[in-house]
Chains A and B, each alone.
Chain A
Amino acid sequence: EVQLVESGGGLVQPGRSLRLSCTASGFSLGDYAMSWVRQAPGKGLEWVGFIRSKVFGGTTEYAASVKGRFSISRDDSKSIAYLQMNSLKTEDTALYYCSRALSGMHPLDYWGQGTLVTVSS
């Protein structure tokens, strides 16, 4: 059974950093691109960024709202994808989901349950 489990969320002050993890099971993480998608309270889905599989270079893409502050990495040997969030702002408060796709142009076919990040002083 395919499972994605996010962790690492919590309360953090503006300007600080936080790293989220997405632990995969039931499939080979290395075969997939991994995306992060967030949802602010009461709002819609917002794509944050993704990392391609090593076959496609393992490169990353980011939404304009987080580019330069957030970075995505992966450790296929541990079946974990990461979202490093720096210089956090109050508007980054959201539920953060990880999801998988065969590549960026493919659908996000499995999602985790999300981890909540609250940025507040």
Chain B
Amino acid sequence: DIQLTQSPSFLSASVGDRVTITCRASQGINTYLAWYQQKPGGAPRLLIYAASILQSGVPSRFSGSGSGTDFTFTITSLQPEDFATYYCQRLNTYPWAFGQGTKVEVK
């Protein structure tokens, strides 16, 4: 199976910071990648799919890019409600594996 490696696992940031998370696939997956946000005690929420398309209702400060094996998720100006854990997920073939997650914490 194709593995996903997210980095970093933890990230300390302040409100207003630009935050970048990377997700690397062990083999090429075209743009079959999604990004989710999960807050403590809550279910994951789809933010981005097809590597760069913003899900309806998601603020434009979130963005994604990449194709093949290397992907990037960016929050341009971190807001208080953005402190959460973020996961990438590949969608090319089953099983749809997730990355191990990146926890964005208050600096």
Q: A and B, one complex?
A: no
